[in-house]
Amino acid sequence: MDMTLNSLGRKVPLELPGVGSFAPYKSPFAMLGQPGAFAGTQMQLRRPAPARSKVIENIEKAVELSGLKDGMTISFHHHLRNGDAVIPMVLDILRKMGFKGLTLAPSSIPDAHDCIADYIRSGLINRLYTSGVRGELGKLLSGGELEIPVVIRSHGGRARAIEEGSISIDVAFLAAPACDPLGNITGSTGPSACGSLGYAITDAGYARNVVAITDNLVEYPLNPRISIPQYLVDSIVCVQSLGDPKKIATGAARITRNPVDLKIAKDSFRLMKASGILEPGFSFQMGVGGASLAVAKYLGEYMKGKGLRGSFGLGGVGGYMAGMLEEGLFDAVFDVQSFDSTVTSSMQENPKHIEIDASWYASPFNAGCIVNNLDCVILAALEVDTDFNVNVLTGHDGVLRGASGGHQDTAAGAKLSIVVAPSFRGGVPSIKDKVTTVTTPGETVDAIVTERGICINPRREDLLESALKSGLPVADITALKKEVEKLTGIPRPAEFNYDKVAAVVEYRDGTLIDTVYCRK
C-alpha cells in the first residue's frame, strides 16, 4: 500500500484497494473557503406506477424489488441505538438469501451489534464504512479479520461522502417508528419512537432504493410531522417490532456525582465564562454523559441566575438539553439524534425542538452547516496529546473501541471547543506525547480541561490571557503529562503490525487524518 505523511506527521494511504484514492489531511479548512457549487451525486430518480400503498409482504420481497446484488452497498441508521433489532434482522435475511461481499455503510454501529462481526466472518460483508466500531467488532477489525480496511467518517463527513458520491448507497434499510402506507416517515411517535431521524434523512435522499421497515403503520397521511417524505421511499415492510423501546429511548442520563467529573465540568464552565462567550444569543452543544454533560448543570444554573437566554442548543440531544429548552434557556434546539424518551416527547410537543439531518448538522461541503454557528462545544476524549490532538477511536491497546461521531465537525465549527478528560483513567494517563490515533486535530481544539488543570492551546493566546485573568487553574499540558506519569508510570505504546491496515480515519473534508493498524 502506498503511504504518505500528512500534515500531522501521520502515515496515511494514498489509495485503499477496493475503496478508492484519498488525499492526505492538510488543515481543518484547507478545502473550504472556495465560492460556488461543484458536482456531487445526482438525486436518484424512479418511475414507479402510481399506487395507494407501498406495503409489501416481507423483507425478502423488498430486497428482490430493490435489485440488490453481491458487492453492492447497503445502509442503516443507528437512531434505535442499543434497542435496535432491525440491523441484525435484515443482515440475517440477506445472509439466508445468499448475498456476499456487500458494503455495509451505516451511520454508525450500536454497541449491541457484535453480530456484525459474524456477518463479516461469513462473507456477507466485506467492506465497512462507519462512524464507530466497538466491542467484538472492534477486536475483530483490529485483529485484521476484514480484508479491506474500514473507512471511519464523522457524521458531517459521512453526509458529505454520500452527497458527493464517495458512498453510493444502493439500498437503504430504514427503521421507521411511524410510517404511513406511502412511506411518509417520522421517528417521534410510535412504540419504537426514537426522536430525530437526522442520519436517516440523508440516506433517504440519496439511496438508489429505500426500504422502510416499520412496526407502526399509521393511516395516511402521517401527520403533523414528516421527517422523510413519501417520494423518497420505495417499499414498506411491516414487522412485529423494531426493537426494545426501553433501550431505544432510555431514561435521561443523570448528571454524574463523580467528584472528578464534577470538578472538570465546573472548571470547563468557568472557562466558558472567562472566554466571554456567555452573552445573550449564544449557542451550545454538550456531551452525552460524565463531565461533558455535567457542564450543562453549571451552565443552566448560571443562565437562570443571570436571566441569560441562548439562541440555540445543538446535538446529539439528551433530556437535559430538552429540559433547558423547556425552561426557555434557549430559543430553539436543533436535533440530529435524540438520546432518551424526554427528548422524544420534547420533539413531539415543542415546535422549537427542530429535527435536522446530518448534512444540515455538519457537512463541510454545503452552503453552511449548523456547527459553523456553534459558540461552544464540550467534547469527551479517550486520549489527548501535547499538540492537543484528540483520540476517540482506539484504546491504549490500540484496539478500535470508539466513534468519530460529531467530534471533528463540532470542534472545527465551534468558536470555543473544550475537550474534557480526567488526567488519568483506570490508572493510565490520558495525556500522551502522540495519541494512538488522531481523530480530531489539535488545530481545532481550544482547551483540554482535566481535574488537575486547564490546558489552553498555545494557538489561542487570547483565551489563555482571559483564563489567567479570571484566576483559572491553567496548566501547561506537557508539565501535566509529566505530573501524571509520576503517579502512573510511563505506559507502553500500543504495538501494531504496520503491514496491515485495519481502518483509515477520514477527516470531515474527505482527506485522511490517520491510519489504524492491526494489532500485532
Q: Which of 47, 52, 257, 469 binds other proteins (CB under 8 A)?
A: 257
Residue 451 sits in the site that holds other proteins (CB under 8 A): yes
Q: Which of 424, 496, 507, 517 binds other proteins (CB under 8 A)?
A: 424
First to last CA, the chain: 18
Residue 139 sits in the site that holds other proteins (CB under 8 A): no
Nearest to 394 by CA among 427, 457, 436, 356: 436
Residue 377 Cβ, how far from other proteins at the closest point, in Å?
24
Residue 469 sits in the site that holds other proteins (CB under 8 A): no
Under 8 Å between Cβ of 154 and 508:
yes
Residue 501 Cβ, how far from other proteins at the closest point, in Å?
21
Residue 482 sits in the site that holds other proteins (CB under 8 A): no
Under 8 Å between Cβ of 296 and 313:
no
Q: Which of 425, 434, 459, 500 binds other proteins (CB under 8 A)?
A: 425
| CA–CA gap between residue 298 and residue 269 (Å, rounded) | 6
Query: Cis link prior to 493 (omega < 30° from 0)?
Result: no
Pairing of strands 132-133, 402-403: antiparallel
Which residues make Cβ contacts (< 8 Å) with residue 394, sequence separation at least 6? 142, 382, 400, 401, 402, 436, 437, 494, 516
Residue 481 Cβ, how far from other proteins at the closest point, in Å?
15
| CA–CA gap between residue 2 and residue 11 (Å, rounded) | 10
The window from 224-232, 306-314, 376-384, 419-427 that contacts other proteins (CB under 8 A) reads 419-427
Residue 440 Cβ, how far from other proteins at the closest point, in Å?
23
Site map 215..234 versus other proteins, x via CB under 8 A:
--------------------
Pairing of strands 150-152, 209-214: unpaired
Residue 491 sits in the site that holds other proteins (CB under 8 A): yes
Residue 159 Cβ, how far from other proteins at the closest point, in Å?
36
Residue 265 Cβ, how far from other proteins at the closest point, in Å?
12
Under 8 Å between Cβ of 168 and 138:
no
Q: Taking the CB of residue 426, how many other CB atoms lie within 10 A of it?
A: 9
Under 8 Å between Cβ of 163 and 365:
yes
Residue 492 sits in the site that holds other proteins (CB under 8 A): yes
Site for other proteins in 20-59 (CB under 8 A): none
* Closer residue to other proteins (CB): 460 or 519: 519
Residue 7 Cβ, how far from other proteins at the closest point, in Å?
28
Residue 339 Cβ, how far from other proteins at the closest point, in Å?
26
The window from 22-30, 82-90, 258-266, 407-415 that contacts other proteins (CB under 8 A) reads 258-266
Number of residues that bind other proteins (CB under 8 A): 23
* Closer residue to other proteins (CB): 40 or 289: 289
Maximal CA-CA distance, the chain: 72
* 336's grid cell: 440530529
| CA–CA gap between residue 317 and residue 332 (Å, rounded) | 12
Residue 143 Cβ, how far from other proteins at the closest point, in Å?
15
Residue 396 sits in the site that holds other proteins (CB under 8 A): yes
Residue 426 Cβ, how far from other proteins at the closest point, in Å?
4
Under 8 Å between Cβ of 198 and 335:
yes
* Closer residue to other proteins (CB): 47 or 492: 492
Beta strands in 277-389 (DSSP E): 283-285, 310-317, 330-338, 353-355, 376-379, 383-385
The window from 153-161, 166-174, 483-491, 496-504 that contacts other proteins (CB under 8 A) reads 483-491
Q: Which of 226, 260, 277, 288 binds other proteins (CB under 8 A)?
A: 260
Q: Taking the CB of residue 48, how many other CB atoms lie within 10 A of it?
A: 8
- Print the SS3 string covering 215-276: CCECCCCCCCCCCECHHHCCEEEECCCCECHHHHCECCCCCCCCHHHHHHHHHHHHHHHHHC
| CA–CA gap between residue 98 and residue 239 (Å, rounded) | 22
The SS3 call for residue 104 is strand
Enclosing H/E stretch for 322? helix 319-326
Q: Which of 401, 452, 481, 508 binds other proteins (CB under 8 A)?
A: 452
Q: Which of 221, 281, 328, 489 binds other proteins (CB under 8 A)?
A: 489
Exposed/middle/buried for residue 50 (C-beta within 10 Å: 0-12, 13-18, 19+) = exposed
* Closer residue to other proteins (CB): 415 or 434: 434
Residue 428 sits in the site that holds other proteins (CB under 8 A): yes
Q: Which of 311, 350, 488, 497 binds other proteins (CB under 8 A)?
A: 488
Under 8 Å between Cβ of 455 and 483:
no
- Print the SS3 string covering 108-129: CCCCCCCHHHHHHHCCCEEEEE
The window from 49-57, 410-418, 425-433, 474-482 that contacts other proteins (CB under 8 A) reads 425-433
The window from 79-87, 275-283, 358-366, 484-492 that contacts other proteins (CB under 8 A) reads 484-492
Residue 259 sits in the site that holds other proteins (CB under 8 A): yes
Residue 484 Cβ, how far from other proteins at the closest point, in Å?
9
Q: Kindly list the residues in this chain that would bind other proteins in the complex (CB under 8 A).
A: 257, 259-260, 263, 396-397, 424-428, 451-452, 471, 483, 486-492, 494
